[in-house]
């Protein structure tokens, strides 16, 4: 099965309602090749521009590998849809917002979510921040996590590598964690250009929950600024993020700060 056809099957499975996907698969079951009459019949299944665009893209990709039968395409489409449904059921995403509230997005403070994520960690916790200061509560819960056996890793920016954007190393806020957590940085020598910043702000717990946020580990960012983030529970994203950061550490792109 060609890469183009596989891609269009994935897009249809992830982007269309399950009922429409099943209707499309039922149509494909009766076809042996991507002929015009079959395409026309499939397009009429739903008077929906997105559905019709998906049918058009699928048929164009199928035409590049016409030796594949309609039932085979239908089977692949059903399998992809079942996988997409399972991932959707196993994942939940919520908005994390610090700032003025509205009826559309209730306030769920960044600090509250971060502390909850740290407290729920049982194996490994990776936290990234550009700036860090005046967060004694965060330091306390991180120390507690390390005490119960969590592998705590903080990836932080340095004053020197920030080229003046920081007045102190972010690691200075976590001196109390020396010996119980590892502090990491992206060395300036490893950066693609001078002035590139370690600007990511995120926390990943046990490869199962991830907070991706605009908030630094500072009192202002966690409690007072207008900050926006997403909390992702379950599904593949937290695991992919954890694997990504671990790979950067293993490859030496991120280095342990001496003394931690």
Is residue 59 located within the same domain as residue 121?
A: no
Give me the CATH number covering residue 252. 3.30.870.10
Q: At residue 34, does pLDDT exceed 90?
A: yes
Is residue 113 located within the same domain as residue 62?
A: no
What pTM did the predictor assign?
0.70
Is residue 184 located within the same domain as residue 223?
A: yes
Residue found under tokens 């199962």: 208
Is residue 118 located within the same domain as residue 176?
A: yes
Residue 64 phi/psi, 5° resolution? -75, -15
Helix (H) or strand (E) holding 90, with range, is none
Is residue 216 located within the same domain as residue 120?
A: yes
- 108 pLDDT tier (thresholds 50, 70, 90): low
- 105 pLDDT tier (thresholds 50, 70, 90): low
Q: Mean per-residue pLDDT for 27-44?
A: 94
Over the chain, what is the mean pLDDT? 92
End-to-end CA distance of the chain: 51
Q: CA 25 to CA 91: how far, in whole Å?
A: 26
Is residue 246 located within the same domain as residue 122?
A: yes
Last residue of a domain, one of 47, 68, 89: 89
Last residue of a domain, one of 72, 89, 106: 89
Is residue 128 located within the same domain as residue 78?
A: no
Q: At residue 221, does pLDDT exceed 90?
A: yes
Is residue 84 located within the same domain as residue 155?
A: no
Q: Give the highest mean pLDDT range of 6-15, 89-98, 103-112, 205-214.
A: 205-214
> Residue 1's pLDDT is what?
64
Last residue of a domain, one of 58, 89, 120: 89
> Residue 8's pLDDT is what?
94
- Three-state SS for 128? strand
Residue 86 half-sphere exposure, CB side, CA atoms within 13 Å?
7
Q: In which domain, by residue range, is 189 found?
A: 92-256
- 260 pLDDT tier (thresholds 50, 70, 90): low
Structure tokens at 61: 């990709």
- Three-state SS for 170? helix
- 88 pLDDT tier (thresholds 50, 70, 90): confident
Is residue 188 located within the same domain as residue 234?
A: yes
**Is residue 71 packed enough to be buried (19+ CB in 10 Å), middle (13-18) or exposed (0-12)?**
middle
Is residue 170 located within the same domain as residue 66?
A: no
Q: Which residues lie closer than 8 Å to 244 by C-beta, 6 or more apart?
A: none
Is 39:66 a contact under the CB 8 Å cutoff? no
DSSP 176: G
- Three-state SS for 238? helix
Q: Mean per-residue pLDDT for 17-24?
A: 92
> Residue 164's pLDDT is what?
85
Is residue 141 located within the same domain as residue 60?
A: no
Number of structural domains the chain divides into: 2
Is residue 84 located within the same domain as residue 121?
A: no
> Residue 107's pLDDT is what?
64
Radius of gyration of the chain (CA): 24
What does the DSSP assignment read for 26-85? HHHTT-SS--HHHHHHHHTT---HHHHHHHHHHHHHHHTSTTS-HHHHHHHHHHHHHHHH
Q: Mean per-residue pLDDT for 181-186?
A: 97
What are 138-167's pLDDT values in tens digits? 999 999 999 999 999 999 999 999 988 999
């Amino acid at each position: 099965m060609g890469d183009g056809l596989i891609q269009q099957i994935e897009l249809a499975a992830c982007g269309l309602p399950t009922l429409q996907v099943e209707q499309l698969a039922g149509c494909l079951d009766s076809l042996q090749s991507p002929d015009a009459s079959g395409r026309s019949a499939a397009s009429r299944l739903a008077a929906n521009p997105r559905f019709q665009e998906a049918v058009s893209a699928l048929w164009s990709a199928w035409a590049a590998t016409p030796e594949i039968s309609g039932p085979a395409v239908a089977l692949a489409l059903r399998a992809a849809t079942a996988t997409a449904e399972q991932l959707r059921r196993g994942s939940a995403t919520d908005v994390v917002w610090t700032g003025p509230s509205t009826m559309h997005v209730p306030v769920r403070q960044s600090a509250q979510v971060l502390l909850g994520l740290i407290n729920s960690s049982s194996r490994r916790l990776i936290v990234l921040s550009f700036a860090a200061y005046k967060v004694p509560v965060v330091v306390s819960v991180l120390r507690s996590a390390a005490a119960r056996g969590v592998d705590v890793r903080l990836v932080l920016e340095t004053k020197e590598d920030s080229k003046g954007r920081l007045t102190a190393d972010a690691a200075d806020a976590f001196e109390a964690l020396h010996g119980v957590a590892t502090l990491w940085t992206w060395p300036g020598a490893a950066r693609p250009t001078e002035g590139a910043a370690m600007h990511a702000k995120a926390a990943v717990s046990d490869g199962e929950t991830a907070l991706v946020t605009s908030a630094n580990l500072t009192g202002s960012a966690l409690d007072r600024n207008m900050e926006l983030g997403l909390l992702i529970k379950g599904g593949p994203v937290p695991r992919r993020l954890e694997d990504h950061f671990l790979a950067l550490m293993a490859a030496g792109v991120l280095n342990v700060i001496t003394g931690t």
